[in-house]
């Protein structure tokens, strides 16, 4: 037994030879404490050795011993059952041949303790072998044995059900042919413990086979059996619901035809435990199929059934919401047409679980497709429904705010027209949770649209509303500051004209403008000077003010140049413009090349879908004055707000932390997936830098990523490979962050390998080299440092 369990053929042969030599008869039917015996052990899945089986049979024949091949162990398993479970046809044939030779009738209907029997084992997933099924059927016919093909195991699975689960049409046909040949009626409506029955199994996702469904329907018709096609499993799913989930129009039509043929009315409003019903399933994102929706509507009309199109699942989502969320205008129109035809009023002012109204959701998903929103408004008008267009979503956004924030000008006009026709006063000063309001959204970098400003101002005038153009969001940004940052002359002029008209004093804080202060054109400078003189503008200059210098230069040039020097002034300005242009182009080229290097540090995986990526820089001055740590100003990348924190340990180790301000407000199952490249570089030399990449899933509980041991202080002063520059010069360097945001997470199984790969990549691609290490001075005292408002070092243009 030990040598068999060790699968050691040579030892078995030695033992048999020794026994023969010394006239010892081996007890090859002996059992151990678990009722195992030699031929049973040889057929067990761990051994599964036909050579050992043959050795045992030959030995038994040579010594006139009859092997107990029908015997079972303490789990009620026989050698035949073992060999079937091991999918070993050779051993099965050896056992059948041995039984035939010794007039032993194999017990091919015997069950083990879990209710498995030979033909059921042959149809299970890990075997799923039609040749074995055929061997068993042939054996049964040769020995006048009737196979118990309707029997089930303890989980309620029969041979037919197992073969359907495994999508094995050969076995299904063998079972049907056998049943017909022996006048056995297959129990094709029988359920297992989970409530599944044959035709329901044939429609589930991993099978989804219309040929099997047709076989079952034909069998049922041939034997006058009515299929329970309205029955459900324990989760409340029917055949129709399963086939809808799998987008199997063939099966849906087969079920409908069968129901019509047998005068069965399909329960097309039936709900699952989670509140799903057929037409709702057809409109959900993974199905989103207008043809299926049309089939259900036609079936309902043909059978005088009213579809519950306003019903929702447990998450509070209706099919109307899904059609909007999936931007499926065909389903959207089908619902509206059906509702109109049957005098059903759609609940178009409903909200989803996170507090978004349907009109708000329609604007989100429409991508400025005005047809969607127009249909929505037309339906409301036709049925005298007043849309809640001033209602906020869970973050305080309104439909109007969203249209501006996403530069959806057509939908914006539709909302304004609707409000005017319905005598609704739009709340054009309303603030979101972050302090953003309509005219401020218009000044965002990705919008920067003066047409919105003009429309809002006209609307405000028409409705005696004073726009709060000097209001600020939580980061201190105002419309004037952002439009100046975006160099939008027309919008800046509109703001100043409006302020003059209504005696509004505007505030201008230079440190809020950021790097764009360097690129403000002269028209805006002139507007600032003019409106400063009109006393409607308060300016707060930053230290070492660039704006002040620009204003001073403009004053000086304006005062010194007389009329007869205007030609010189014009040429001077032209030359200056060319110079600025060249400097800007050079800087843009360098920053672009640098960002490309950082981008190359990021290694994507196949299942990642990139939303956007961008880069931010922050100049650190007076580094030696930093005491422990300091945070950057809050900045925005890709409509997300962030902060960087630099931390200097006593040992001189510099760590970085990136914090997502938005992640704190996410729900528990929502995340921002991002690759982040931290970098330090020389103020002017883009080739002198150090960078490191890391992946993080920003969420409510983990809103920040920490990069420890980024660099030691002493290494900041080591000369670059050019022997001239170092990372830290004049007690200053540039700290940057490149962020790539994904729509989905990295598969958890691949994450460790991925993290290792980006670690190796960033190590091999770092371009910072050190020389003259012995000349580095010891770490200076650390107190604090001055923040730099990204002047000259920030480029927030999307890549």
Per residue in 117-139, pLDDT (tens digit) is 999 999 999 999 999 999 999 99
The pLDDT tens digits for 431-460 are 999 999 999 999 999 999 999 999 999 999
Q: Is residue 729 part of a domain?
A: yes
Q: What percent of the chain has pLDDT over 70?
A: 88
622: left (phi over 0), alpha (psi -120 to 50) or beta: left
Residue 286 has pLDDT above 60, yes or no: yes
- DSSP of 478-525: -HHHHHHHTT-HHHHHHHHHHHHHHTPPEEEEGGGTGGGGGG--HHHH
In contact, 36 and 73? CB cutoff 8 Å? yes
pLDDT (mean) for 393-418: 90
Question: What pLDDT sits at residue 777?
Answer: 27
Q: Is residue 325 part of a domain?
A: no
Question: What pLDDT sits at residue 763?
Answer: 40
Q: Which of 465, 498, 460 is nearest to 479 (CA)?
A: 498
Question: What pLDDT sits at residue 601?
Answer: 86
| 762 — pLDDT class (breaks 50, 70, 90) | very low
| 288 — pLDDT class (breaks 50, 70, 90) | very high
How far is residue 520's CA from residue 597's CA, in Å, rounded to a whole number?
A: 29
Question: What pLDDT sits at residue 249?
Answer: 97
| 164 — pLDDT class (breaks 50, 70, 90) | very high
| Residue for token pair 């041995």 | 98
Q: Which two tokens stand for residue 316?
A: 């509070």
| β-pair partners for 712 | 653
The pLDDT tens digits for 653-698 are 999 999 999 998 889 889 999 999 999 999 888 889 999 998 899 9
pLDDT (mean) for 344-371: 82
Question: What pLDDT sits at residue 776?
Answer: 27
Question: What pLDDT sits at residue 371?
Answer: 84
How far is residue 297's CA from residue 334's CA, in Å, rounded to a whole number?
A: 9
In contact, 117 and 150? CB cutoff 8 Å? no
User: How much of the chain is in helix, strand and coil states, percent to nearest 5?
Assistant: 45, 10, 45
Task: Based on DSSP, count helices (H) and strands (E) in the chain, helices before strands.
Answer: 30, 12
The pLDDT tens digits for 554-581 are 655 655 444 434 544 554 455 456 556 7
Q: Is residue 186 part of a domain?
A: no
Q: Which of 369-383, 394-408, 443-457, 580-594 has the lowest mean pLDDT?
A: 580-594
pLDDT (mean) for 235-243: 97
Q: Is residue 672 part of a domain?
A: yes
Residue with the bigger pLDDT between 549 and 188: it is 188
Cα-flanking dihedrals φ and ψ of residue 126, to 5°? -75, -15
In contact, 115 and 109? CB cutoff 8 Å? no
| 469 — pLDDT class (breaks 50, 70, 90) | very high
The number of distinct structural domains making up the chain is: 1
Residue 360 has pLDDT above 80, yes or no: yes
How far is residue 9's CA from residue 73's CA, in Å, rounded to a whole number?
A: 23
Residue with the bigger pLDDT between 26 and 587: it is 26
Q: Is residue 381 part of a domain?
A: no
Question: What pLDDT sits at residue 1?
Answer: 65
Range(s) of the domain holding residue 651: 609-787
| 587 — pLDDT class (breaks 50, 70, 90) | confident
Question: What pLDDT sits at residue 625?
Answer: 87
Residue 761 has pLDDT above 60, yes or no: no
Q: Which of 313, 296, 286 is nearest to 255 (CA)?
A: 296
How far CA 3 is from CA of 7, 11, 47, in Å, comes to 6, 6, 11
Q: Which two tokens stand for residue 324?
A: 């909007």
| 757 — pLDDT class (breaks 50, 70, 90) | low
Residue with the bigger pLDDT between 195 and 652: it is 195
Half-sphere exposure of 700 (CA within 13 A, CB side): 6
* Residue 735: CATH number of its domain: 2.60.210.10
pLDDT (mean) for 53-73: 93
* Residue 328, SS3 per DSSP: coil
Q: Is residue 730 part of a domain?
A: yes
The pLDDT tens digits for 476-522 are 999 999 999 999 999 999 999 999 999 999 999 888 888 888 888 88
Residue 550 has pLDDT above 90, yes or no: no
Q: Is residue 26 part of a domain?
A: no
Question: What pLDDT sits at residue 578?
Answer: 54
How far is residue 345's CA from residue 310's CA, in Å, rounded to a whole number?
A: 8
Question: What pLDDT sits at residue 385?
Answer: 94
Q: Which two tokens stand for residue 707?
A: 């990069």
Cα-flanking dihedrals φ and ψ of residue 480, to 5°? -65, -45
The pLDDT tens digits for 766-798 are 433 333 322 222 222 222 222 222 333 333 322
> Exposed e or buried b for every residue in 616-631, given b needs 16+ CB within 10 A?
bbbbbeebbebeeebe
On the 0-12 / 13-18 / 19+ scale of CB atoms within 10 A, 114 is exposed
In contact, 599 and 613? CB cutoff 8 Å? yes
How far is residue 499's CA from residue 503's CA, in Å, rounded to a whole number?
A: 5
pLDDT (mean) for 339-363: 87
| 11 — pLDDT class (breaks 50, 70, 90) | confident
| 532 — pLDDT class (breaks 50, 70, 90) | confident
Q: Is residue 264 part of a domain?
A: no
Question: What pLDDT sits at residue 743?
Answer: 84
Interacting residues of 650 by C-beta distance below 8 A, sequence separation 6+:
none
Neighbours of 705 (CB within 10 A): 18
Calculate the average pLDDT of the chain: 86
């Amino acid at each position: 037994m030990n040598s068999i369990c060790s699968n050691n053929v040579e030892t078995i042969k030695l033992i048999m030879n020794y026994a023969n030599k010394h006239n010892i008869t081996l007890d090859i039917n002996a059992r151990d404490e678990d009722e195992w015996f030699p031929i049973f052990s040889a057929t067990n899945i761990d051994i599964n050795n036909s050579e050992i089986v043959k050795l045992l049979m030959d030995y038994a024949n040579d010594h006139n011993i009859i092997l107990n091949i029908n015997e079972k162990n303490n789990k009620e398993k026989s050698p035949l059952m073992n060999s079937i479970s091991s999918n070993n046809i050779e051993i099965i044939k050896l056992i059948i041949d041995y039984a035939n030779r010794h007039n032993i009738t194999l017990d091919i209907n015997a069950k083990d303790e879990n209710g498995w029997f030979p033909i059921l084992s042959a149809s299970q997933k890990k075997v799923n072998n039609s040749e074995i099924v055929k061997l068993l059927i042939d054996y049964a016919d040769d020995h006048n044995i009737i196979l118990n093909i309707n029997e089930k195991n303890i989980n309620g699975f029969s041979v037919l059900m197992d073969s359907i689960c495994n999508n094995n049409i050969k076995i299904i046909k063998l079972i049907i042919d056998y049943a017909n040949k022996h006048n056995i009626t297959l129990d094709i409506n029988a359920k297992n413990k989970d409530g599944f029955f044959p035709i329901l199994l044939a429609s589930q996702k991993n099978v989804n086979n219309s040929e099997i469904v047709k076989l079952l329907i034909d069998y049922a018709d041939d034997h006058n059996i009515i299929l329970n096609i309205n029955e459900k499993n324990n989760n409340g799913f029917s055949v129709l619901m399963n086939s809808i989930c799998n987008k199997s129009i063939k099966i849906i039509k087969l079920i409908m035809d069968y129901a019509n043929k047998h005068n069965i009315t399909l329960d097309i409003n039936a709900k699952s435990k989670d509140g799903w019903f057929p037409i709702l399933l057809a409109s959900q994102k993974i199905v989103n199929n207008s043809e299926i929706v049309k089939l259900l509507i036609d079936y309902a009309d043909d059978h005088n059934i009213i579809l519950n199109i306003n019903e929702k699942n447990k998450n509070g989502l209706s099919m109307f919401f899904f059609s909007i969320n999936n931007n499926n205008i065909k389903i959207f129109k089908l619902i509206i047409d059906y509702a109109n035809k049957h005098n059903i009023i759609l609940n178009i002012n409903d909200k989803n679980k996170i507090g978004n109204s349907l009109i708000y959701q329609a604007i989100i998903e429409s991508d400025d497709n005005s047809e969607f929103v127009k249909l929505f408004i037309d339906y409301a008008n036709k049925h005298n429904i007043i849309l809640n267009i001033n209602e906020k979503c869970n973050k305080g956004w309104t439909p109007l705010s969203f249209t501006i924030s996403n530069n959806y000008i057509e939908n914006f006009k539709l909302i304004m027209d609707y409000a005017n026709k319905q005598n609704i006063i739009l709340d054009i000063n309303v603030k979101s949770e972050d302090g953003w309001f309509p005219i401020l959204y218009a000044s965002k970098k990705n919008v920067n649209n003066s047409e919105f400003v003009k429309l809002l101002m006209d609307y405000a005038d028409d409705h005696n509303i004073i726009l709060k153009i000097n209001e600020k969001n939580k980061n201190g940004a105002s419309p004037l500051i952002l439009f100046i940052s975006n160099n939008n002359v027309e919008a800046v002029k509109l703001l100043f004209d409006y302020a003059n008209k209504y005696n509004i004093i505007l505030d201008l804080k230079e440190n809020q403008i950021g790097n764009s202060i360097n690129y403000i054109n002269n028209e805006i400078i002139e507007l600032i000077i003019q409106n400063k003189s009109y006393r409607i503008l308060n300016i707060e200059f930053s230290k070492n003010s660039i704006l002040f210098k620009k204003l001073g230069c403009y004053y000086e040039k304006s005062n010194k140049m007389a009329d007869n020097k205007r030609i010189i002034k014009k040429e001077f300005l032209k030359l200056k413009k060319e110079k600025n242009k060249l400097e800007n182009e050079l800087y843009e080229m360098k920053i672009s090349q640098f960002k490309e290097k950082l981008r190359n540090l990021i290694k994507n995986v196949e299942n990642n879908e990139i939303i956007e990526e961008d880069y931010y820089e922050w100049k650190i001055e007076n580094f030696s004055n930093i005491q422990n740590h300091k945070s950057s100003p809050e900045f925005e990348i890709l409509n997300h707000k962030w902060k960087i924190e630099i931390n200097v340990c006593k040992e001189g180790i510099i760590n970085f932390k990136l914090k997502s301000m938005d992640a704190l407000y996410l729900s528990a199952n929502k995340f921002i997936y991002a690759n982040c490249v931290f970098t330090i570089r020389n103020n002017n030399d883009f080739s002198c830098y150090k960078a490191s990449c890391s992946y993080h899933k920003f969420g409510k509980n983990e809103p920040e990523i920490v990069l420890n041991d980024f660099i030691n202080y002493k290494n900041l002063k080591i000369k670059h490979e050019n022997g001239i520059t170092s990372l830290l010069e004049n007690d200053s360097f540039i700290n940057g962050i490149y962020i790539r945001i994904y729509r989905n997470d990295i598969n958890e199984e691949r994450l460790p390998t991925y993290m290792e790969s980006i670690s190796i990549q960033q190590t091999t691609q770092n371009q910072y080299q050190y020389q003259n290490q012995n000349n580095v001075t010891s770490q200076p005292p650390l107190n604090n440092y001055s923040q730099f408002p990204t002047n000259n070092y920030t480029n927030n243009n999307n890549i």
